[in-house]
Amino acid sequence: EEKEMLERFQQYVDGENKVEPKDWMPEAYRKTLIRQISQHAHSEVVGMLPEANWITRAPSLRRKITLLAKVQDEAGHGLYLYSAVETLGVKREKTIEDLLSGKAKYSSIFNYPTLTWADIGAIGWLVDGAAIANQVMLCRTSYGPYARAMVRICKEESFHQRQGYEIMMTLAFGTPEQKAMAQDALNRWWWPSLMMFGPSDDNSPNSALSMKWKIKRKSNDELRQEFIDKTVPQAEYLGLTIPDPHLKWNEERGHYDFGPIEWEEFYNVISGNGPCNKQRLDARRKAHEEGRWVREAAAAFARKRAMEMQE
Ligand code: ACO
């Protein structure tokens, strides 16, 4: 009977139908969605930290307002995504506990430091650019609540990408010192941005099932290539050099060829040993403790309201 259910589920997904929270789904489907969506939520929340570092030092009031709005958007994305995880039957408290204990993963990219203002430009341009490449396909993911959250998130990500590219334009077309800052940020963020897409397809243990069930609609390598093809002309327009001597247009493939990725660095970062992993988790733990009284007050208020409703 289980086999029949699985077949029916596959047909349903193959027919481009959305799976909703109360529908039957294979346990492995539920499990991998909980894994991916919670990691995604954590990434949004931890992702606020490297940029928040620059809010008070943004070079003008306009830049400050824009960055503040962007960082607030990331918090909102985290909240939609924690809600999406809850539809799969896991409490968000448990999900957050897994982040704070170091058990859950979040995107490798947020374990790198933001050393100069140009890093804020590079993050918007490259990191949010990579996030969009990955998340546009997730608007068509088979799980309804995740797909719907992604539509709004992608709209906001496009604004983030543009604010980043606009900072890069200002710097790249500015003084020689500003241009050098932009180049330095590109040098440091390029390779980690390519790693965001995850291991290459032949080393990606979750891909086979996720593709079969249409959770992922494009493979890690396909998306990485799309991102590179889209970004190279943007770097050329800025007059900046991508730090990859092997980068070259391949007429036959219709894509850019690129040099080897340092996977050792990637695995090192995702196992907790990147340059800022400890700092990021410490900051999240501190924020969680400092917010405890707010959560308790909100819960007490909700209980009081529920009692009043009964009366
Ligand atoms: N950072 C941290 N961990 C990663 C990364 C990364 N960049 N890429 C892959 N991994 C982890 C996977 O989570 C998986 O770990 P797990 O099995 O312990 O959970 C392992 O490496 C192997 O990778 P895959 O089998 O390729 O995993 P998966 O099929 O889940 O693909 C991907 C990874 C592409 C990141 C997918 O999970 C995804 O599309 N997630 C949603 C998007 C997302 O999370 N974006 C966050 C950054 S964007 C932003 O927040 C602005």
The answer to whether the beta carbons of residues 239 and 172 sit under 8 Å apart is yes
* 173-189 pLDDT per residue, tens: 999 999 999 999 999 99
Cβ of 39 closer than 6 Å to ligand 1, yes or no, is yes
Question: Which residues, including other chains, have CB under 8 Å from residue 231's CB and lie 6 or more apart?
Answer: 125, 126, 129, 242
**Residue 47 CA: which ligand 1 atom is closest?**
50
Would you give per-residue pLDDT tens digits along the chain (311 residues)? 889 999 999 999 999 999 999 999 999 999 999 999 999 999 999 999 999 989 999 999 999 999 999 999 999 999 999 999 999 999 999 999 999 999 999 999 999 999 999 999 999 999 999 999 999 999 999 999 999 999 999 999 999 999 999 999 999 999 999 999 999 999 999 999 999 999 999 999 999 999 999 999 999 999 999 999 999 999 999 999 999 999 999 999 999 999 999 999 999 999 999 999 999 999 999 999 999 999 999 999 999 999 999 88
* 95-143 pLDDT per residue, tens: 999 999 999 999 999 999 999 999 999 999 999 999 999 999 999 999 9
Distance CA 235, CA 239 (A): 6
Q: Which of 122, 123, 133, 112 shows the shortest CA–CA distance to 198?
A: 133
User: How many angstroms separate the Cα of 274 from the Cα of each of 58, 236, 266, 278, 297?
Assistant: 26, 30, 8, 8, 36
Task: Give the distance (Å) from ligand 1 centre to CA of residue 299.
Answer: 33
ipTM of the complex: 0.97
Q: Whose CA is nearest to atom 4 of ligand 1?
A: 198
Cβ of 200 closer than 6 Å to ligand 1, yes or no, is no
Please choose from 80, 81, 123, 206 the residue to mutate so as to test ligand 1's pocket, defined by most ligand atoms within 8 A of CB: 206
Q: Which of 110, 113, 114, 107 shows the shortest CA–CA distance to 135?
A: 107
* Token pair in block for residue 230: 């889209």
Cβ of 44 closer than 6 Å to ligand 1, yes or no, is yes
Task: Give the distance (Å) from ligand 1 centre to CA of residue 196.
Answer: 7
Question: Which residues, including other chains, have CB under 8 Å from residue 135's CB and lie 6 or more apart?
Answer: 150, 153, 154, 157
**Residue 223 CA: which ligand 1 atom is closest?**
34
Task: Give the distance (Å) from ligand 1 centre to CA of residue 193.
Answer: 13
Q: Whose CA is nearest to atom 37 of ligand 1?
A: 36
